[in-house]
């Protein structure tokens, strides 16, 4: 395993700057996610790291090696694509062996390493099957085995699960993380699926318009977003506009159309000044339904309800429009049109952001 560092990476396509001075460090053995909406630059950055694109400027290091101008096959990195890119006329074993044959590895060694790779992805005994005899999930495992068989130090994955159904995606999440960790690989994984990133990543970077908006562990990004874009992209949230009244330490009291609400400021370089515009982010599960008013409470009336088994989703009409609420106690049901309710959010669960 080895670390991966991107320094001041710029990638331009004509007048369009797809990557704008990107700085990134992925630790050795880390499963790191690049996350963002379509067109944010995440796949372009991965392709630069893989050697499939050359940066307009900047440098890329694998450990201490400067690989910026190095061809892909010399970087000791393997890439898994969204499309799997398997040869339909070859068997499973022949697909996996392809990279070893290109490297002129002796045949007995190829056979041994193909069998090893099949065991890693839990497909032992499937070597002689045709690709058309394999399910979507099995084909994805073959694609992984083909990447692993060359014994890379880094595994690069470009939305590898997007073609699978929901249940298979959940199974393959665990499988990919297991493979990365058991084989001591450094992994960089591109996705636009927030749930996938939260479930699998050691750390992640959220990209927007060719820049990194925030880097951190999943719980840090989710609980302490630095911008409204990150808060809204990672999971679901309620965004409420307000004006700062006063700040004490990391907490700010704001005036909103829902009444005064206090919350914590996540940007350490910013202290909202009285009269300054702010935006509050409150996750649906942060609200608590109750009957008494107090600090950080909001009046509302339930408009809709969805029963989701382990939780209940409510939409509550308030002075600021509809708020989304997730109640984790499915044994207490509130009906749409019932008496007015009161919502409460702890100060720690209200995040104060720049608008």
pLDDT at 208: 93
Answer with the one of 228, 250, 279 that is the final residue of a domain.
228
pLDDT band at 168; cut points 50, 70, 90? confident
Same domain? 188 vs 85: yes
Same domain? 244 vs 220: no
Same domain? 67 vs 205: yes
pLDDT at 190: 95
Same domain? 250 vs 216: no
pLDDT at 213: 94
Average pLDDT rounded to a whole number, residues 74-82: 88
pLDDT at 140: 85
Tell whether the model's pLDDT for residue 237 goes beyond 80: yes
Of the two residues 126 and 335, the one the predictor is more confident about is: 126
Instruction: Residue 255: give the domain boundaries.
Output: 236-353
Same domain? 72 vs 204: yes
The total of structural domains in the chain comes to 2
Same domain? 159 vs 215: yes
Answer with the one of 228, 256, 274 that is the final residue of a domain.
228
Average pLDDT rounded to a whole number, residues 258-277: 96
Share of the chain above pLDDT 90, in %: 65
Asked if 351 contacts 280 with a C-beta cutoff of 8 angstroms, the reply is yes
pLDDT band at 121; cut points 50, 70, 90? confident
Same domain? 134 vs 200: yes
For the domain that residue 260 is a member of, what is the CATH number?
2.40.50.140
List of long-range contacts for 218-227, beta carbons under 8 Å, 24+ apart = 222/198, 222/283, 224/266, 224/351, 225/266, 225/281, 225/351, 225/353, 226/266, 226/267, 226/353, 227/353, 227/354
Answer with the one of 196, 228, 260 that is the final residue of a domain.
228
Write down the pTM of the prediction. 0.88
Tell whether the model's pLDDT for residue 241 goes beyond 90: yes
Tell whether the model's pLDDT for residue 332 goes beyond 80: no
């Amino acid at each position: 395993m080895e670390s991966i560092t991107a320094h001041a990476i710029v990638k331009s396509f004509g007048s369009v700057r797809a990557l704008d001075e990107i700085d990134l460090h992925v630790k050795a053995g880390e499963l790191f996610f690049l996350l963002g909406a379509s067109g944010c630059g995440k796949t372009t950055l991965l392709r630069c790291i893989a050697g499939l694109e050359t940066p307009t400027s900047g440098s890329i290091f694998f450990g201490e090696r400067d690989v910026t101008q190095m061809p892909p096959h010399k970087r000791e990195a393997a890439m898994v694509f969204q499309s799997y890119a398997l040869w339909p006329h070859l068997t499973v074993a022949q697909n996996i062996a392809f990279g070893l044959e290109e490297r002129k590895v002796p045949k007995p060694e190829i056979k041994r390493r193909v069998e090893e790779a099949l065991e890693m992805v839990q497909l032992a005994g499937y070597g002689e099957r045709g690709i058309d005899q394999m399910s979507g999930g099995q084909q994805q495992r073959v694609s992984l085995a083909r990447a692993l068989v060359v014994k890379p130090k880094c595994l690069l994955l470009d939305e590898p699960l997007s073609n699978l159904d929901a249940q298979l995606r959940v199974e393959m999440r665990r499988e990919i993380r297991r493979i990365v960790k058991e084989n001591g690989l450094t992994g960089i994984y591109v996705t636009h699926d927030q749930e996938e990133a939260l479930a699998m990543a050691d750390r992640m970077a959220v990209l927007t318009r060719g820049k990194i908006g925030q880097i951190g562990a999943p719980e840090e990004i989710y609980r302490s977003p630095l911008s409204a874009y990150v808060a809204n992209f990672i999971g679901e949230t309620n965004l409420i506009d307000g004006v700062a009244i006063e700040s004490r330490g990391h907490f700010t009291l704001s005036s909103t159309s829902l009444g005064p609400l206090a919350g914590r400021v996540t940007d350490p370089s910013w202290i909202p000044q009285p009269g300054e515009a702010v935006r509050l982010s409150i996750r649906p599960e942060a609200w608590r339904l109750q009957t008494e008013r107090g600090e950080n409470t909001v009046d509302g009336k339930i408009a809709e309800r969805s029963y989701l088994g382990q939780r209940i989703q409510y939409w509550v009409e308030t002075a600021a429009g509809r708020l989304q609420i997730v109640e984790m106690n499915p044994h207490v049901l509130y009906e749409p049109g019932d008496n007015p309710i009161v919502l409460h959010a702890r100060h720690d669960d209200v995040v104060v952001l720049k608008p």
